[in-house]
């Protein structure tokens, strides 16, 4: 069975229970709290020429440094290929209804292929299936949806990345001098709970931690869920520190929470808290480069995700076939010890 397929099954059967106890950073997070989805602008990422295929890129978070790298990859691919490329997306990664509107607008505009990173892996699946059944190529990047009705997904093997993150957390805590006989806690901050990507990173982290952590090192049971509003993470971290004075580690499952964790630790001079996150924001870069802090981040190849996404959409439109549903684009671990690694340097150049 494909590793990604195994990870999806693992999430569904094992991780449902922990997710139910997430602590929200931004209120109830109910379905009634929705962003304005009345209209979305489409930006042309390529020169638009009549007669060329129209490919639509739909992002989770259009105003994020992580997603800007994805835009760069798609734009560069479109420049190399004979296609028109349009981009739209939401400003809140929980706004699945916004993406639903965008998908409908893509169909109205006569899209020839769609490259999507779904805000909600479950709720968007019916619309994705409807579009795919009409014969349009459907390519996922960064995040998959809970459906088999798509052509290919370019993403990180997030279960493995979560395991790597747990390994780094254990390493950073040891380097910080935390004794295995000392009580220690690790808190987790997530961007939003409805993403398969985040759930896989959580499951992988728990999986590795359970097998390899000292008996006295614990993960705080209440996961801090920002529900799309990362600005509230600091308040949740402060509360966790009040409840757990022996909190010595913070794990951010994606770019936004990782940035906020790094900012919190830096602003408060918390050199006693190890940080492990994802991606390479200015905030996490700063504490990695400082000898005062202990930090690692899982750096994804999101540029490759979108570049290959556009390439594949064009291949499908030309009648080509894809033999695998999931392609792992990989991650590299970045910390002060790996900054000189040629592979790390190469990936950082696209971030």
What is the residue-wise DSSP string for 32-93? T-----S----EE-S---TTS-EEEEEES-TTSHHHHHHHHHHHHHHHHTT-EEEEEE-SST
Q: How far is C-alpha 214 from the chain's CA centre?
A: 28
Q: Does the pLDDT at position 218 exceed 70?
A: yes
- pLDDT for 256-294, tens place per residue? 999 999 999 999 999 999 999 999 999 999 999 999 999
Are 151 and 314 in contact, with CB atoms under 8 Å apart?
Answer: no
- pLDDT for 120-167, tens place per residue? 999 999 999 999 999 999 999 999 999 999 999 999 999 999 999 999
Q: Does the pLDDT at position 113 exceed 80?
A: yes
CA distances from 256 to 84, 207, 227, 229, 263 (A): 30, 23, 11, 9, 11
Q: What share of the chain in percent tops pLDDT 70? A: 89
Return the CATH architecture of domain 39-156+302-320.
3-Layer(aba) Sandwich (3.40)
Measured distance CA(322)–CA(153) in Å, rounded: 11
Match domain 158-300+335-342 to its CATH number in 3.40.50.2300, 3.40.50.2000, 3.40.50.10860, 3.40.50.720.
3.40.50.2300
The pLDDT value recorded for residue 6 is 41
**Mean pLDDT along residues 99-107:** 96
**Mean pLDDT along residues 69-78:** 96
Q: Which of 307, 308, 306, 286 is nearest to 297 (CA)?
A: 286
In the chain, which segments carry CATH 3.40.50.2300?
39-156+302-320, 158-300+335-342
Q: Does the pLDDT at position 7 exceed 50?
A: no
């Amino acid at each position: 069975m494909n590793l990604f397929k195994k990870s999806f099954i693992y999430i569904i059967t094992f991780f449902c229970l922990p997710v139910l106890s997430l602590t929200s950073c931004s209120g109830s997070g109910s379905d009634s709290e929705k962003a304005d989805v009345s209209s979305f602008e489409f930006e042309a990422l390529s020169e638009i020429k009549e007669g060329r295929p129209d490919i639509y890129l739909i992002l989770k978070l259009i105003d994020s440094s992580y997603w800007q790298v994805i835009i760069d990859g798609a734009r560069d691919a479109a420049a190399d290929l004979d296609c028109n490329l349009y981009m739209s997306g939401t400003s809140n990664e929980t706004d699945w209804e916004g993406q639903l509107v965008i998908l409908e607008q893509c169909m109205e505009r006569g899209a020839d292929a769609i490259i999507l990173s779904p805000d909600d892996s479950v709720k968007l699946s019916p619309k994705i299936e409807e579009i795919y059944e009409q014969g349009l190529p459907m390519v996922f990047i960064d995040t998959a949806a809970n459906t088999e009705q798509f052509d290919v997904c370019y993403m990180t093997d997030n279960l493995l990345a979560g395991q790597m993150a747990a390994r780094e957390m254990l390493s950073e805590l040891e380097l910080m001098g935390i004794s295995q006989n000392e009580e220690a806690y690790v808190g987790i901050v997530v961007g939003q709970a409805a993403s398969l990507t985040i759930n896989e990173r959580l499951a992988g982290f728990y999986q590795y931690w359970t097998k390899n952590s000292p008996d006295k090192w614990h993960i705080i049971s209440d996961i801090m869920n920002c529900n799309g509003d990362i600005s509230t993470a600091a308040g949740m971290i402060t509360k966790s520190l009040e409840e757990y004075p022996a909190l010595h580690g913070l794990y951010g499952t994606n770019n936004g929470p990782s940035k906020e964790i790094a900012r919190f630790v830096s602003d408060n001079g918390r050199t006693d808290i190890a940080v492990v996150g994802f991606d390479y924001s200015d905030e996490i870069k700063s504490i990695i480069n400082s000898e005062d802090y202990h930090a690692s981040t899982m750096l994804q190849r999101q540029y490759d995700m979108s570049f290959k996404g556009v390439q594949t959409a064009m291949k499908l439109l030309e009648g080509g076939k894809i033999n695998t549903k999931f392609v792992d684009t990989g991650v590299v671990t970045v910390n002060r010890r790996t900054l000189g690694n040629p592979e790390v340097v190469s990936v950082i150049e696209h971030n």
